[in-house]
Copies of this chain bind each other. A is one copy, B any other.
């Protein structure tokens, strides 16, 4: 640091300020929620707590762990990471209030890419009604986006309330994002058919199911969003509620989109494995009484006394299920 007589308009610090000014303008267009007193630009955002209960979460999206750059555009990345974070609010039956974004970028990332990421975030923010009201930018060896979101919920939906005799409900689709990821990894783009493109789009542009989560908040006993795979996330409910979740293979197979089944057949893969083990569709699993099953929820099994997650085959045989995506596996 040296005192200088003149400020150079191209100094690195000026560059950083310029980036923040650009982001401020972009994110302000996304609107503000009435709880937000002060957005981007100070040491912290300021909120007026109007709600009875606030729910608060953080999610990360890391290059070469959650995505590889050739698989998606900057806008896809911004959209995807934002919806993934907001999906936790959906699982709590909450309405979003706002988000902070902590963005890490290699020095080699050009301004088009980081602006596209921000544009994807801004679009998602607008679509979800969840304005970006602050954040942080830092340099790093790989791109990563850490998004923290606050929402309000009168009665937050937890993982702990599942009771024996409850049904298990699925809201949204499972397997499409995993199919899309398999296509991205193994099929050259020139060979993609309409089904494959649809699955790739499911992976690139997931949507947090906020409306479905709110619908559940009046009737479900427990809920979770599927980020690591139906089987793995069902186990979170089983463990937290100290019950067994028995998944019905036929019901899950019926929940798989025809397009996903066709892609699985073309690639000689198992659509059921994608549905059970593939995360990132951000569908919701919930439990509740059959009398209260909301419109749009598909019954995919039942809660029983016991522990763990079980798969009931067509012949009635039950196998213990295990899996989901682990961030520390090889």
Contact with B along A17-57 (1 / 0, CB 8 A): 10100000000000000000110011111111111111111
Write the nearest CB–CB distance from A266 to chain B, whole angstroms: 20
Query: Contacts A139-B328, A273-B1, A320-B6; is A46 near B57 (CB within 8 Å)?
Result: no
**Inter-chain contact B56/A327, CB cutoff 8 Å:** no
**Inter-chain contact A48/B38, CB cutoff 8 Å:** no
Closest to A59 in B: B136
Query: Contacts A91-B43, A159-B42, A322-B4; is A141 near B138 (CB within 8 Å)?
Result: no
**Inter-chain contact A104/B57, CB cutoff 8 Å:** no
From B3, B58, B105, contact of A135 by CB (8 A):
B58
Query: Contacts A65-B138, A102-B146, A330-B107; is A320 near B54 (CB within 8 Å)?
Result: no
Give CA–CA (A322, B12) in the complex, Å: 11
From B13, B133, B153, B321, contact of A323 by CB (8 A):
B13
Give CA–CA (A66, B319) in the complex, Å: 48
User: What is the total number of residues of chain A having a CB less than 8 Å from a CB of chain B?
Assistant: 97
Query: Contacts A12-B329, A37-B53, A136-B58; is A144 near B4 (CB within 8 Å)?
Result: no
A263 CB-CB contact with B under 8 Å: no
**Inter-chain contact A140/B144, CB cutoff 8 Å:** yes
Contacting residues of chain A (135-190) with chain B, CB-CB under 8 angstroms: 135-142, 144, 146, 148, 150-151, 153, 156, 158-160
**Inter-chain contact B49/A89, CB cutoff 8 Å:** no
- On chain B, the residues within 8 Å of A228 by CB distance are 13
Query: Contacts A141-B64, A142-B140; is A56 near B44 (CB within 8 Å)?
Result: yes
**Inter-chain contact B2/A273, CB cutoff 8 Å:** yes
Give CA–CA (A151, B12) in the complex, Å: 31
- Of all A-B residue pairs in the complex, the 9 with the closest CB atoms, nearest first, are A1-B277, A49-B49, A12-B329, A44-B57, A12-B326, A1-B323, A146-B146, A44-B55, A148-B148
Residues in A lying within 8 Å of B, measured CB to CB = 1-8, 11-13, 15-17, 19, 37-38, 41-60, 62, 64-66, 88-89, 91-92, 94, 100-102, 104-105, 107, 133-142, 144, 146, 148, 150-151, 153, 156, 158-160, 224-225, 228-229, 231-232, 239-240, 273, 276-278, 308, 311, 319-324, 326-330
